[in-house]
Amino acid sequence: MLMNDLERKVEALLDSQKRDWKLARENYASLSNVQTRYFRDNDRTTVLQFNPERIRSSAAKIDKASLQARPCFFCHRPEEQKGVVYDDAFEILVNPYPIFEDHLTVPLRRHERQQIRPYFRKMLDIASELPGYALFYNGPRCGASAPAHMHFQAGRRSDFPFVRDWLSFPKQIIRETERTGFYVTAGHIPACFIFESRDREEAKAVFDLLYDRLPVKPGDYEPMMNVLAWKEEGVWVTGVFPRRELRPSCYYAEGEANILISPATVEMAGLFVVPLEKDFEKVTFADLETIWKEVSITEEEKNALVRKIKEEA
Ligand SMILES: [Zn+2]
């Protein structure tokens, strides 16, 4: 396969960081022995990954005081961490605490809070230039471990169950034009708005249409959401998972009922990461469905949104 300039640079970055940076070398090496479980239901396969290194992320405190107490890890990087500059505005880095074989972080090159609206177009551009990857965005209260510093992440498209399975999900059409389709999952959790387009500006217009109609909680500055986007055969596909909770009730439960899962885009897209062995062994698919249900918008909220979008569009 012919690689473009950016792909070649990112390939070389992954190779050199996994070789020369001790932390990355060790964590990518242990990733190759992680255990996985698979849950098959009607139209998809959901994956459970036991990954002890991710305890930092799953149990991360993101309240104001905790955030202020630790330096931003995008602005203060270890000397060994190298990057590839993208379009002056962003930089592509190797994530030293990987979930995937090739796990990238893509921070903005200045310290600015996590917010997607001004950067969604850029997300599509990067997805276009890294066609093997799916880009993802965790909202400031939806799994981002650095909510104070704008960033995307990326992993190989094939590593996301959602990318493989979304075509067979039951969906309702919100709107279809010659170049763009806008859908929402029907009778399926988690609720997800999906749009595909050959045209970047049309994709951006659909994103804004949805974004502007999602509720913003008191004290927040953007609607709670996770976003996944990739490009495939000239078509951008975007999945938006509106959220209502940062963490499910099992995260806070005591004793046997406790499951340490803190959902972000990766979980919404069908790959659950558990840092604790006790959870890896006991979790059932029903537990995962409960988690999706608790952190997603409700069926009623979803239907109300669809009505609103159809009326105004
Ligand atoms: Zn920063």
Q: Which residues contact 90 (CB under 8 A, 6 or more apart)?
A: 106, 107, 108, 109, 122, 126, 152
Residue 209 Cα to ligand 1 middle (Å): 29
Contact 224, 211 (CB under 8 A): no
What integer pLDDT is reported at residue 74 of this predicted model? 96
Domains of the chain: 5-312 (3.30.428.70)
Exposure of 56 by Cβ count < 10 A (0-12 exposed, 13-18 middle, 19+ buried)? Answer: exposed
What integer pLDDT is reported at residue 1 of this predicted model? 66
Residue 81 Cα to ligand 1 middle (Å): 15
Residue 108 Cα to ligand 1 middle (Å): 8
Closest C-alpha among 248, 242, 229, 246 to residue 289 = 248
Q: Which residues contact 29 (CB under 8 A, 6 or more apart)?
A: none
Name the average pLDDT for the chain.
94
- How far apart, in whole angstroms, are the C-alpha atoms of residue 198 and residue 69? 44
pLDDT tens figures, 40-66:
998 899 999 999 888 877 777 767 777
305: which 2 tokens?
């949104």
- How far apart, in whole angstroms, are the C-alpha atoms of residue 235 and residue 241? 20
Rg of the chain taking only CA atoms, in angstroms: 19
Residue 109 Cα to ligand 1 middle (Å): 8
What integer pLDDT is reported at residue 63 of this predicted model? 73
Beta strands in the chain (DSSP E): 35-41, 44-50, 83-86, 90-94, 104-107, 133-138, 151-156, 171-176, 180-185, 193-197, 225-232, 235-242, 271-274
Residue 83 Cα to ligand 1 middle (Å): 15
Residue 76 Cα to ligand 1 middle (Å): 7
Helix axes 299-312, 200-211, angle to 10 degrees: 120
Residue 166 Cα to ligand 1 middle (Å): 34
Residue 107 Cα to ligand 1 middle (Å): 8
What integer pLDDT is reported at residue 313 of this predicted model? 62
The rounded percent of the chain whose pLDDT value lies above 90 is 89
Question: What 3-state DSSP class applies to 36?
Answer: strand
- For the segment 98-125, the average pLDDT, to the nearest whole number, is 97
pLDDT tens figures, 249-299:
999 999 999 999 999 999 999 999 999 999 999 999 999 999 999 999 999
Identify which has the larger pLDDT, 187 or 20: 20
Cα angle 162, 224, 95 (rounded to 5 degrees) comes to 60
What integer pLDDT is reported at residue 32 of this predicted model? 86
Fill in the amino acid letter for 258: N
